[in-house]
């Protein structure tokens, strides 16, 4: 889950141009327009351009986002930099989370992927899953990033201890690792888009949260960040179930099933849950299709959670305004997650109580 928090405002200052006292939180003089953070803005802009010239698009985007925090929202400079951040964000999105090489088109994807219709849509989904696999295999060290933070490690151990007393150490350790991987999916996506955020913090009985220091600037970005958690979480579910099939360890199947249920719950399109962020980028018709697929999976799997998911999705589709431009990638990712997590959450686990006790 991702929790947003406002950033602190600037301290008051005296305008050197006209002598006006500038109230705290204002980023410019209300009389003459002098920029309170002018020197810092120049430095950030210079560093952002250097990072962009060096090919570090995520680093450049993060620096440009910091300049937006120091500019008046109604200023011409703010609008110009806002447009620049959107352009950089789309370039990063088109390039994918890892480079795989091979012939590519202007948008960074292979030419065979740029076809239209159902085949092109299927190809896009396969391509994105491929990007995720390459990222995990080549940059697996990112999974260890959160463990370098004392708040993450200590809260993780606390949560594992609480779950241990209820279900035993095997299930507790597996569950905490599954939640951690889910949250690191958010963290990696946030880093890609240059958005400041905290490391995961575990809350026993709730899961874990990542606190945002900045906000995604578009529904597309919000959907990428929100759905990254369940996508990485799906990877942990598949890994746990594959290990169960290879070893016969029943506790691994129990972990896979429960982790699938937790990730499916996060697709609920309410509050600050991941599904709500994903829904921001979906058009009305896409939302209705998602609700319909949830209802179909309810019939197929008899998973009671899907009743709540389908009703909430249908209500949001019917009563909430949808964005003018819908996002196909978010739509396909949402459908893939609903189907796969529903099926995995319905897997029978013989001896589940014994496995849960460890």
- Which H/E stretch holds residue 14? strand 13-14
> Which of the four pLDDT bands, split at 50, 70 and 90, describes residue 337?
very high
Using alpha carbons, select from 110, 140, 145 the residue that is nearest to residue 127.
110
> Which of the four pLDDT bands, split at 50, 70 and 90, describes residue 354?
very low
Least confidently predicted of 28-42, 64-78, 123-137, 152-166: 123-137
Contacts of 42 (CB under 8 A, 6+ apart): none
Strands 13-14 and 21-22: antiparallel
* Mean pLDDT in residue range 102-119: 42
- Residue 325 to residues 263, 299, 335: CA-CA distances in angstroms? 27, 31, 18
Please tell me the distance from the alpha carbon of residue 221 to that of residue 218, in angstroms, as a whole number.
5
Q: What percent of the chain has pLDDT over 90?
A: 63
Residue 106 has pLDDT above 70, yes or no: no
pLDDT in the model for residue 146: 67
Residue 9 has pLDDT above 70, yes or no: no
pLDDT in the model for residue 355: 38
Backbone angles phi, psi at 122, to 5 degrees: -65, -40
CB 1 within 8 A of CB 209: yes
pLDDT in the model for residue 352: 53
Residue 299 has pLDDT above 70, yes or no: yes
| Average model confidence (pLDDT) across the chain | 84
Residue 137 has pLDDT above 60, yes or no: no
b/e map 314-337, b = 16+ CB within 10 Å:
bebbeeeebbeebbebbbbbbbbb
CB 281 within 8 A of CB 274: no
Least confidently predicted of 2-6, 176-180, 289-293, 353-357: 353-357
Residue 350 has pLDDT above 80, yes or no: no
* Mean pLDDT in residue range 123-146: 55
The more confident residue out of 129 and 317 is 317
Would you state the structure tokens that stand for residue 161, as one six-digit string? Answer: 């201890």
pLDDT in the model for residue 102: 38
Please tell me the distance from the alpha carbon of residue 357 to that of residue 168, in angstroms, as a whole number.
4
pLDDT in the model for residue 113: 40
Residue tagged 């995995």 (tokens): 344
Contacts of 101 (CB under 8 A, 6+ apart): none
Contacts of 239 (CB under 8 A, 6+ apart): none
* C-alpha torsion 120→185→171→206, nearest 10: -110
Using alpha carbons, select from 238, 221, 271 the residue that is nearest to residue 1.
271
pLDDT in the model for residue 285: 97
> Is the full-model pTM beyond 0.85?
no
Strands 201-203 and 21-22: unpaired
pLDDT in the model for residue 306: 98
* Mean pLDDT in residue range 44-48: 95
The more confident residue out of 279 and 11 is 279
Residue 74 has pLDDT above 50, yes or no: yes
Residue 179 has pLDDT above 70, yes or no: yes
* Mean pLDDT in residue range 221-229: 96
- The most confident of the ranges 31-40, 85-94, 348-357 is 85-94
Contacts of 18 (CB under 8 A, 6+ apart): 29, 31, 32, 34
> Which of the four pLDDT bands, split at 50, 70 and 90, describes residue 129?
low
pLDDT in the model for residue 202: 93
Using alpha carbons, select from 88, 82, 83, 80 the residue that is nearest to residue 61.
88
pLDDT in the model for residue 145: 65
What's the start-to-end Cα distance of the chain, in Å? 27
* Mean pLDDT in residue range 117-135: 50
């Amino acid at each position: 889950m991702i929790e947003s928090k406002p950033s602190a405002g600037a301290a008051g200052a005296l305008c050197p141009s006209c002598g006006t006292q500038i109230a705290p939180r204002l980023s410019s003089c209300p009389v003459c327009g002098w920029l309170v953070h002018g020197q810092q803005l120049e430095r950030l802009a210079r560093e952002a351009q250097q990072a962009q010239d060096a090919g570090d698009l995520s680093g450049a985007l993060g620096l440009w986002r910091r300049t937006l925090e120091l500019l008046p929202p109604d200023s011409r400079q703010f609008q110009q930099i806002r447009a620049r951040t959107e352009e950089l964000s789309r370039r990063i999105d088109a390039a994918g989370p890892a480079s795989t090489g091979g012939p590519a088109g202007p948008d960074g994807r292979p030419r065979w992927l740029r076809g239209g219709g159902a085949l092109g849509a299927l190809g896009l989904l396969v391509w994105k899953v491929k990007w995720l696999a390459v990222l995990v295999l080549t940059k697996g060290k990112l999974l260890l990033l959160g463990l370098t933070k004392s708040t993450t490690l200590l809260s993780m151990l606390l949560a594992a201890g609480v779950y241990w007393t209820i279900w035993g150490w095997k299930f507790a350790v597996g569950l905490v690792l599954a939640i951690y991987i889910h949250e690191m999916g958010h963290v990696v996506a946030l880093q890609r888009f240059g958005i400041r955020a905290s490391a995961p913090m575990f809350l026993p009985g709730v899961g874990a949260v990542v606190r945002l220091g900045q906000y995604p600037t578009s529904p597309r970005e919000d959907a990428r960040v929100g759905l990254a958690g369940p996508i990485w979480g799906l990877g942990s579910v598949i890994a746990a179930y594959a290990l169960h099939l290879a070893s016969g360890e029943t506790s691994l199947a129990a972990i896979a099933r429960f982790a699938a249920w937790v990730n499916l719950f996060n697709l609920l399109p309410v509050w600050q849950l991941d599904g709500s962020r994903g829904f921001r980028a979906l058009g009305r018709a896409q939302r209705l299709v998602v609700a319909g697929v949830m209802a179909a999976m309810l019939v197929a799997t008899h998973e009671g959670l899907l009743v709540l998911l389908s009703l909430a999705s249908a209500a949001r589709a019917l009563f909430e305004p949808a964005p003018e431009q819908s996002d196909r990638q978010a739509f396909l990712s949402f459908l893939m997650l609903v189907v796969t997590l529903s099926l995995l959450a319905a897997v029978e686990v013989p001896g589940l109580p014994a496995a849960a006790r460890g």
